Amino acid sequence: MIRRAVERPNRVFDEGLQHERTALAWERTAISSMVGGVLLARYAAETLHWTFAGFGLLTVVFGGVLLVWSGRHYDDLHGPLRAGDSPVHPTAARLVGRATIAFTATSLALAILIALER
């Protein structure tokens, strides 16, 4: 699929810059997910079973996909925002939100189990 270049706006269409802050929040979430996955994979490879290390690597992949998606999605939203349309995709927001909660809950449960072992 060939993507055409997205023209950057020459004026701020949102004085509060909510769109930019949201994009940055998604990027921070993706990066922190990747860091957490690397730490889990490294610790699990040394002390736990390899399946936990695999889960950590899966979290890194998920964070990388989320990072790429957030950057592309940010560019795709400029057109509808300038036109005054709503750029919200409820299904995508629910899917990403649920996946983030699932990965976070699993990582938290693993951290608690590791802490109780010691």
pLDDT digits (tens, 9 = 90+) for 29-71: 888 888 888 888 888 887 877 787 888 888 889 889 888 888 7
Short-list 75, 101, 102, CA closest to 6 = 75
Asked if residue 55 belongs to a domain, the reply is: yes
For residue 63, the enclosing domain spans 19-117
Between 101 and 43, where is the model more confident?
A: 101
Asked if residue 92 belongs to a domain, the reply is: yes
Asked if residue 24 belongs to a domain, the reply is: yes
> What is the total count of domains within the chain?
1
- Would you list the DSSP string of 68-117? HHHHHHHHHHHHHHHHT-----HHHHHHHHHHHHHHHHHHHHHHHHHHHH
As a whole number of angstroms, the distance between CA 41 and CA 3 comes to 34
Asked if residue 7 belongs to a domain, the reply is: no
Whether 9 shows a pLDDT value over 60: the answer reads: no
Q: DSSP assignment, residue 1?
A: -
Asked if residue 56 belongs to a domain, the reply is: yes
What pLDDT is recorded for position 1? 52
Asked if residue 100 belongs to a domain, the reply is: yes
- Band (pLDDT 50/70/90 cuts) for residue 12 is low
